[in-house]
Structure 1
Amino acid sequence: MPGAIYAEGLVKTFGDVRALDGVDLDVPEGTVLGLLGPNGAGKTTAVRCLTTLLRPDSGKAVVAGLDVLKQPDAVRRSIGLSGQFAAVDEYLTGRENLQMVGQLYQMRARQAKARAVELLEQFHLTDAADRPAKTYSGGMRRRLDLAAALVVSPPVMFMDEPTTGLDPRNRQQLWEVIQQLVSGGTTLLLTTQYLEEADHLAHDIAVVDHGKVIAQGTSDELKARTGGERVEVVVHEREHIRTAAEVLGGFGKGDTTVEEHTRKLTVPVTGGAKLLAEVIRELDSRGIEIDDIALRRPTLDDVFLSLTGHVAEEKTEGADEQGNKKTTRKDSRKETVK
């Protein structure tokens, strides 16, 4: 039986750009799916298709038991959507924004007012309830936007990069709100560029690149695909690199990666801190002086690099999901010692 959010073979093109290239998703009721990927990967296009804002060229989509293509009006009444940018009326107060949304959903005036009070309290906006939204900080606007998406208590919620641009404090507050929603039974599809956000919130993560789901699993499963834990060593002398690579190769569970210009060597391992102590002893016994050594877990860039061949921060000219000029990632070039 399909989950609360289900997609099969979704395809969407914009001119020559294939923004979605056969996307399959299945989100069980009451869970969170984190849609993870770099800018231009297809995350926002997937959300727009699933929320009836875009019609896919082909494929099937079912949300809250409703066919997205055949029952778009019913789908809209059953979902909440918080986009990348806060969609609030800056000249209305926070309270007025929420009441207006209730009225658009044909709630009675008294019911809309009561729901606004409830949401303002839940999202810690009561003190600013009667101030124009244009006076709100970025974090406050995001919370108001999310509150507006929840006026009718939808069973399914879509959030498109809800914490992008927020400071750590506001991001943490929004995470807490999202966790409250899910604990109350809401099904959530969350797009994000941040592995740590998906790690914190999602039951399952789908990695999207070039319009395709290229990997799916829990955060730990995805990290394991990048090699799990790894030891990073920076040697003091460049001439010790090869010897250090031999040492690390004896402890590693995969190839040793060498960055000559930084004298850094990296190898995937298992064994944690105990293994790190053994590596240090062996390097010392071989007379290799080190500037730094650390045991690390995969980061967002590690996952992207392992699954897509490029990292998130390095940019080059390309096209976004709708064919507009933008920046994308460059391939990373590192030497691998086998």
Structure 2
Amino acid sequence: MEKTLQELADYVGGTVAGDPNTIINGIMGIDEATEGHITFVANEKYIKKMNHTKASAVIVSPKLINAKKNLLVCNNPYLAFARIVELLMFKKPVYVKGIDSATSIANTAKIGKDVSIQAYVTIGENACIGDRVVVFPGVFIGENCTIGDDAVLHANVVIYPDTVIGRRVTIHSNTVIGSSGFGYAPDGQSYYKIPQAGNTVIEDDVDIGANTTINRATLGQTIIRRGTKIDSQVVISHNVEIGEDSVIVSQVGIAGTAKIGKHVTLAGGVGIIGHITVGDNVTVGGHSGVAQDLPGNGTYLGTPALPIQKMRRCYVIIEKLPEMKEHMKSLDKRLKQLEEKWKNSD
């Protein structure tokens, strides 16, 4: 597909600086782009590359409008990039409608219109599958589950009984939703398994990556609120609640009954202990450990997670610890010498 730079600007709500009739037939990264491509700069560390790229145009923010290139100027270059990729490059998959003969679907299950249920899918008693749902091979959907309209469940996803999946939810391969939480009561010698009698609720427009596990509640619900995006290899424990439009990056672990607010970003490898609250609009840096409540509207880093400016000062001190240790040893030696001298003077 070919578009002029002006047509792309109109599509994303931006403006053109340069030749609006420049023909764009693809989009690539700033290093790989050639003539006919549009690229983008959303991170300031790539600004120096703008005048060297072979791309025919660059998507930029208003503060970079003076660059010597054809520019598509908009307030959110990364969002514009995503929309242009979708327009120029992305082919929406087409699924064959119908139910494959190699499936096992309970007689009491309710199946919506225009579904695509592929081979070796199992759907349990009283499950309810919405309209236009796509279920890839090997998926298991347990009894009493609800799958909302336009949901997509990729190969080998496991949905345990009583789970509720909202509309337009995408769940990638090998993810498990609604498995038992990790709960045991010590009896003095061993551990007694605490029955996990609750369920899991995934609200509308949630995306969940591959090989992620979201446990059911001990009592009540584990809830992932509308619009949240969860990466691959994430573990979310029983009775956790994650607020709307949050972003949970790969290898995050959230312990039981933690409450995560709206618009929260948990970067890769973050660990959160149970029974704490993370406020709205919080960002937690990668590999941080959250061991206490975090107030809203802040950025935190480290283990234990502290406000980012404070933790940066701590890192500076940590780097100097070897020198500080040697200095303290020197001071201690001098102090002992002075004490010995003082004693001898008596």
Normalised by the size of structure 1, how large is the TM-score? 0.23
Rg: which structure is higher?
2
Between 1 and 2, higher relative CO (CA 8 Å, sep ≥ 6) is seen in 1
Q: Which structure has the highest helix share of the two?
A: 1
